[in-house]
Amino acid sequence: MFNDKVILITGGTGSFGQKCTEIILKRYKPKKLIIFSRDELKQWEMAQKFPTQNHPIRYFIGDVRDVERLNRAFQGVDYIIHAAALKQVPTLEYNPFEAVKTNIIGAQNVINIAIDQGVKKVIALSTDKAANPINLYGATKLCSDKLFIAGNSYTKRNGTIFSVVRYGNVLGSRGSVIPLFLKQRETGTLTITDPNMTRFWITLERGVEFVLSCMEKMVGGELFVPKIPSMRIEDLAMAICPRCKKEIIGVRPGEKLHEVLITKDDAKRTLDLGDYYIIQPNFLFWARRFNYVGSKPVHDNFEYNSRTNNRFLTVREVRKLISESKELDFD
């Protein structure tokens, strides 16, 4: 599907964007891959890894807040992966207007310009924090999710289609707790918010592969959720440094003790497809598009919660995952 096509990644210099670029260039032959992001230094650093003279790649400085720049960047684009977002929970609690400008208004800009420029497919990245949100980041991403799903109602028949992928914490992504623990290990003390805290975890590579596979499957309107394991924060600390002192610092502003990927309220619209779920939209366009053969509805009280998940990573599995991750220096 990606061969001889023009693909654009917003927020393309982030952890996801760089791994996605690596996988697309390795497995496919795109006509062009456009990296759209705000940070010129990160683009310069990425260009050392993926030089334009060796790859069909172009780097665009721009912000999803800037409609004029999006209009220019989206010309001739076939597929868009929307990964641009402000996502640091404590930071956004104290800078709420900035979160709204990027995560909500930026999403609306991407939707409108993609329709205007005739982009075929747009898939947006979401987060477990968008399900029953208690922090501003989660609230803005929930709003963004709903905008992208509703975007299918604004496009003409056979026009641009929009879907969303929602998953949990990414192993080793910038700002995650694992790089912090690896750094703190040198001091002999790890700071733990709450030993009972649990999180969904997915490797960066699997996250990218899931997004690309969903982009091939999508008919527009789905919210895709992968089946992934949970991890106890205490087990993570034990895996990284079993002899380190553990200092309990309390839950940070806007943090949950456990995360949810699918709420009980969404259960009535959720389908189980084996390795993943989809949450169906409440829109008329869905009925004529729906074609998921072999799917089955979940039970009415279903909730996909990191605390009650039927799959937890053991300390040994956590150590193995970190050791195998090319993005982390565990030794």
Measured in whole angstroms, the distance separating CA 12 from the mean position of its chain's CA atoms is: 12
Catalytic residue list: 129
Give pLDDT < 50 ranges for the chain: none
Tens-place pLDDT, residues 139-183:
999 999 999 999 999 998 889 999 999 999 888 676 678 888 888
Q: 6-168+202-227+261-304, superfamily in CATH?
A: NAD(P)-binding Rossmann-like Domain (3.40.50.720)
Residue-level pLDDT at 271: 97
Residue type, position 17, single letter: G
| DSSP-assigned states of every residue in 243-305 | TSEEEE--PPTT--SS-EEE-GGGGGGEEE-SSEEEEPPSSTHHHHH---TT-EEPPTT--EE
Tell me the C-alpha distance between 288 and 151, whole Å.
Answer: 16
Residue-level pLDDT at 136: 94
Tell me the C-alpha distance between 11 and 35, whole Å.
Answer: 7
Tell me the C-alpha distance between 238 and 242, whole Å.
Answer: 4
* Cβ within 8 Å of residue 139, ≥6 positions away: 130, 133
Structure token pair of residue 254: 């806007």
Structure token pair of residue 278: 């989809």
8 Å CB contact between 13 and 41: no
